[in-house]
Amino acid sequence: MALPVEEIKELIIASIPDASIEIKDLMGDNNHYQALIKSKMFSGLSKIDQHKLVYKSLKGKMGNELHALSITTEEK
């Protein structure tokens, strides 16, 4: 039930190629993360749709292997 930071970044980049991603491992346990993701692809989308884009890039892992990923999205 844990996903390493590099794997999360790779998954996001695969769907959002221009993303700049900062991920903090809040507890040092590969399971509680905070991510700041910036991309031009967020432009014109509601916050809900921006977050959905990130969730979709994680291919079903969110809410399963990945319990605690707090997301902040910003337009580049």
Interface positions with another protein (CB under 8 A): 47-48, 51-52, 55, 60, 62-63, 68, 70-72
The whole-angstrom separation of Cα 8 and Cα 33 is 10
Among residues 1 and 48, whose Cβ is nearest to another protein?
Answer: 48
For the chain, give the number of residues.
76
In the bound state with another protein, the residue whose beta carbon lies nearer, of 43 and 48, is 48
Smallest gap from residue 38 Cβ to another protein (A): 15
DSSP 38-58: EEGGGTT--HHHHHHHHHHHT
- Residue 22: CB minimum distance to another protein, A: 15
> Given the complex with another protein, which of 14 and 68 has the nearer CB atom?
68
23-26-27 Cα angle (round to 5): 140
